[in-house]
Copies of this chain bind each other. A is one copy, B any other.
Amino acid sequence: MDKVTRKTTRRIMLGDIPIGGNAPISIQSMLSIKTSNIPEATTQIRELISAGCEIIRCAVMDISDANAIKELKKISKAPLVADIHFDYRLAIASIENGIDGLRINPGNIGKIEGVQKLVAAAKERNIPIRIGVNSGSLPKDLVQKYSVSAEAMVESALRHIKILEDLAFYDIKVSAKASSIPLMLESYRKLSKACDYPLHLGITEAGTTLSGSIKSAIALGILLEEGIGDTIRVSLTANPVQEVIVAKEILRNLGLRKGLNIISCPTCGRTRIDLIGLTEQVEKALKNYSDYPLTIAVMGCAVNGPGEAKEADFGIAGGIKEGLLFAKGEIVKKVPEELLVKELLALIQNHIGKQ
């Protein structure tokens, strides 16, 4: 099978997480809690990390948020990134409080003295900066010149990059988000040709869990399969833990990350069991096994099921009142319907135990 050939980018370090230069693609999310609300932010950081989030961004809107970073760094095993608009002093305060990365656009800060101070502070502590271009907030002159287009997105990014490069700062990561998939794809493709900084992929204003996941899966899926992208964020109007779950599924499905893969056939006129209920039961029973590189099949039809799911490590196929337990296409045994999930789980646990 064709393996994805990744575009080689410069490597930066965000805390202990490498980004770019063929490092594994890392998963990011963002706190939906005000950063200065330390108790709730702590809970959400723990939930995100336990779901598999590797980099956590938080909005720094005022000095209380910047100061909270000191406490949050004590409990977070994942690097933290401060998201700052315009005010370089908040960036410096975040750096002093131990932040691992910044998301700030140097072209929007105003006076160059502010940019110089910020860059000096970031350089001293090896803190990378993400330049985040967004189709909704492009500079007016570029919109007039190019309209809201990939050309405007890329030129805006290159302007911000130049400001940092002129200060001999190269620990840069870039994003070019839009809510339109064609615009987002073209922007990242052009950006990937125009520079070799690592790229942070994302779709903005994606939507609620299902439609936002579909949108991110298409856009991130297309770029990742082309070899573009070094770290990803799935943006959803939902609990950020859900963003991490969806991001993991996207990477796993493209073979970019190992983990549990549950496959199940669509219900059809041949199905004689409650396949939807059964699959949901299996998903629930295997919730804590998401990092094991196993393929588990839930098939509706005992005649074709085991054969059609030969690539599955383990699987069940429903019949009338009883079903089959199978492994790599071979039948292991017949089981009464109500014991199918239990027996499948036992088989998997036994397998994992033996490893």
A positions within 8 Å CB-CB of B: 1-3, 30-35, 58-59, 61, 65, 83, 134-137, 148-150, 179-183, 185-186, 204-215, 217-219, 221-222, 225, 235-240, 243, 246, 249-250, 253-255, 262-271, 275-276, 279-280, 283, 297-299, 304, 307-311
Known: A31-B269, A221-B217, A283-B208. A182 touches B2 (CB 8 A): yes
Please state if A308 and B266 are interface contacts (CB–CB under 8 Å).
Answer: no
A298's contact among B237, B243, B246, by CB below 8 Å, is which? B237
- Indicate if the CB atoms of A266 and B30 lie closer than 8 Å: yes
Chain B residues near A183 (CB-CB < 8 A): 1
Contact in complex: A275, B134 (CB < 8 Å): no
Residue of B nearest to A204 (CB): B265
Q: How far is the CA of A211 from the CA of B249 in the complex (A)?
A: 7
Question: A268 is contacted by which of B59, B209, B268, B304 (Cβ under 8 Å)?
Answer: B59
Q: Is the CB–CB distance between B269 and A218 below 8 Å?
A: no
Q: List 7 A-B contacts (CB under 8 A).
A: A31-B269, A59-B269, A208-B276, A210-B213, A211-B249, A219-B221, A221-B221
**Smallest Cβ distance from A273 to chain B, in angstroms?**
12
> Looking at chain A's contact residues, is the secondary structure mostly helix, strand, loop, or mixed?
mixed
Tell me which of B186, B219, B304 contacts A2 (CB under 8 A): B186
In angstroms, Cα B30 to Cα A217, docked, is: 24
Chain B residues lying within 8 Å of A207, measured Cβ to Cβ, are 262-264, 279
Query: Which B residues are CB-close (under 8 A) to A1?
Result: 149-150, 180, 182-183, 186
B182→A265 contact, CB < 8 A? no
Are the C-beta atoms of A266 and B32 separated by less than 8 Å?
yes
Per the bound structure, the CA–CA distance linking A215 and B310 in Å amounts to 19
Further pairs besides A34-B269, A205-B308, A205-B309: 12, Cβ < 8 Å? A59-B270, A61-B269, A65-B269, A136-B311, A137-B304, A137-B308, A181-B255, A204-B265, A204-B266, A214-B217, A214-B250, A239-B276
With both chains docked as a complex, state the minimum distance between the C-beta of A160 and any C-beta of chain B, in angstroms. 18
Assess whether A30 is in contact with B255, with CB atoms less than 8 Å apart.
no
Interchain CA distance A211-B247 in the complex, whole Å: 11
Given A237-B298, A309-B136, A311-B148, A181 contacting B266 (CB threshold 8 A): no
Contact A263–B32 (Cβ < 8 Å): no
* Contact between B280 and A205, CB atoms less than 8 A apart: no
A297 and B32 in contact, given A149-B1, A182-B254 (Cβ under 8 angstroms): no
Q: From residue A216, how far is it (CB to closest CB) to chain B in Å? A: 8
Residues of chain B within 8 A (CB-CB) of A136 are 304, 307-311
- Most chain B CB inside 10 Å of its own CB: which residue of A185, A207, A235: A207
Contact present for B217 and A213 (CB under 8 Å): yes
Q: Say whether A263 contacts B308, CB under 8 Å.
A: no
Could you tell me the distance between the alpha carbons of A225 and B217 in the complex, rounded to whole angstroms? 13
Q: Taking the nearest CB of chain B, how far is it from the CB of A249, in angstroms?
A: 5
**Which of A149, A206, A265 is packed against the most chain B CB atoms within 10 Å?**
A265
Our pick among B214, B265, B304 for the contact of A237 (Cβ within 8 Å) is B265
CB distance from A276 to the nearest CB of B (A): 6
Nearest Cβ distance between residue A65 and chain B, in whole angstroms? 7
